[in-house]
Amino acid sequence: GEDVEQSLFLSVREGDSSVINCTYTDSSSTYLYWYKQEPGAGLQLLTYIFSNMDMKQDQRLTVLLNKKDKHLSLRIADTQTGDSAIYFCAQNRGSTLGRLYFGRGTQLTVWP
């Protein structure tokens, strides 16, 4: 089964907040990541959170980490049409030679 899970689709209205959720099973992570992929492009690092943090804020982005529930979320405030993209969460794990484990991605569609 999936080790890192995300819902596949999310639609919001322009100006609303978007919340993209991610759950994971392996608790050995030291870092958890959010990547953004625009159509036809590679993945772009959006933000990351160290596992000893509960929250990280970066302008319109807020990352929340609930280690007890193994739940990571990305909140985008005042969502714009330019935020339409696929968002991937990813985690590292101990002793895996630098490998990251990705969810399947959430397609965010922002309606004007």
Query: Which stretches does DSSP call E strand in the chain?
Result: 4-6, 9-13, 18-24, 31-37, 43-50, 55-58, 61-66, 71-76, 85-92, 100-102, 106-111
Closer residue to another protein (CB): 67 or 104: 104
**Min dist. Cβ of residue 5 to another protein (A):** 10
**Min dist. Cβ of residue 65 to another protein (A):** 16
Closer residue to another protein (CB): 10 or 100: 100
**Min dist. Cβ of residue 13 to another protein (A):** 25
**Min dist. Cβ of residue 112 to another protein (A):** 25
Going by the DSSP 8-state scheme, the letter that residue 54 receives in this structure is: S
The kind and range of the H/E element at 38 are none
At residue 84, the 3 state secondary structure works out as: coil
Q: Which residues bind another protein (CB under 8 A)?
A: 8, 30-31, 33, 35, 40-45, 48, 88, 90, 92, 97-100, 102-105
Phi, psi of 48 (to 5 degrees): -150, 165
Closer residue to another protein (CB): 24 or 35: 35
